[in-house]
């Protein structure tokens, strides 16, 4: 029986010119660009999977993808990795390669995903009550039914857990940092939009609380633009994280 190598590669990317991370017919995505180069350099492989899905325009500081490849020795894997690093487009930066245990799944084994969202519009920043947004954000931390913050295409599994929401402000920007194991499609950008409505005094904190207590599709009233959202970090359990961080 041939040895199957479970390969995991970390990347970062500027999402400005991508229609998201996942493959879409006739559209430029991160996965489509990666697939083209993997086909060229690695030949036959199986189960290309990304750790986290990102929408059109969303950036990533740390994203992982994994795939399986047989009939190849370790030295050749690293030679091909170097070729991949040099041949991907400039808006995808390859960071590191790791050979993982056979049972590892780059998506299913994630224990924590962290996203950041930055507000850079000075006029908007001057109008925001950041303290009120911080108070309101605490209502969203924990396990809840987030149906009110789900995108149109989200159909089920609305119960998710948010580990933390941090909001930092300086003279130049307001940054939101949201962490959890997994998120519903568009959940983060709809949460940001809702917190901004509270910060602008367009809604009271009771409104946000009721979105959790009495979830209804579309309750968040809108969605923040995608171009200021970044997948900041993906973390795994200690055993797998140690392998991924090994020099």
Tell me how far apart the alpha carbons of residues 20 and 28 are, in angstroms, rounded to a whole number: 8
> How many other CB atoms are there within 10 angstroms of residue 17's CB atom?
11
pTM score = 0.93
Cα(207)–Cα(200) distance, rounded to whole angstroms?
A: 13
Q: Looking at residue 155, what is its pLDDT?
A: 75
CA 146, chain centre distance (Å): 17
Residues of the chain with pLDDT under 70: 1, 247
Beta bridge partner(s), residue 164:
179
Beta strand pairing status for 4-13 and 59-70?
antiparallel
DSSP 161-212: EEEEEEEEE-SS-EEEEEEES---TTHHHHHHHHHHHHHTTSS-HHHHHHHH
Q: Of the listed 55, 91, 121, 237, which one is catalytic?
A: 55
171 labelled catalytic: no
What is the pairing mode between strands 59-70 and 229-236?
Answer: parallel
Nearest to 14 by CA among 118, 66, 90: 90
What DSSP designation does 224 have? -
Measure Cα distances from 116 to 107, 150, 204 in Å: 20, 18, 24
């Amino acid at each position: 029986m041939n040895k199957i190598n479970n390969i995991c590669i970390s990347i970062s990317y500027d999402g400005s010119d991508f229609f998201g991370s996942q493959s879409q017919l006739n559209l430029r995505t991160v996965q489509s660009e990666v697939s083209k180069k993997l086909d060229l350099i690695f030949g036959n492989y199986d189960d290309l999977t990304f750790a986290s899905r990102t929408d059109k325009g969303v950036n990533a500081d740390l994203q992982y993808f994994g795939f399986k490849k047989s009939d190849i020795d370790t030295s050749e894997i690293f030679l091909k990795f170097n070729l991949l690093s040099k041949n991907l487009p400039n808006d995808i930066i390859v960071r590191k390669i790791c050979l993982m245990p056979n049972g590892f799944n780059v998506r299913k084994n994630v224990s924590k995903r962290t996203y950041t969202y930055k507000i850079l519009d000075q006029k908007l920043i001057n109008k925001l009550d950041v303290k009120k947004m911080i108070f309101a954000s605490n209502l969203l931390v924990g396990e809840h039914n987030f149906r009110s913050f789900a995108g149109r295409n989200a159909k089920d599994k609305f119960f998710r857990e948010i580990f933390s929401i941090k909001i930092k402000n300086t003279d130049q920007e307001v940054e939101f940092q949201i962490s959890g194991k997994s998120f519903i499609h568009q959940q983060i950008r709809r949460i940001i939009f809702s917190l901004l409505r509270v910060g602008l005094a367009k809604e009271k904190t009771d409104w946000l609380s009721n979105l959790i207590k009495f979830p209804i599709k579309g309750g968040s009233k809108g969605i923040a633009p995608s171009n200021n959202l970044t997948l900041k970090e993906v973390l795994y359990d200690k055993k797998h994280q140690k392998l991924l961080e090994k020099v």
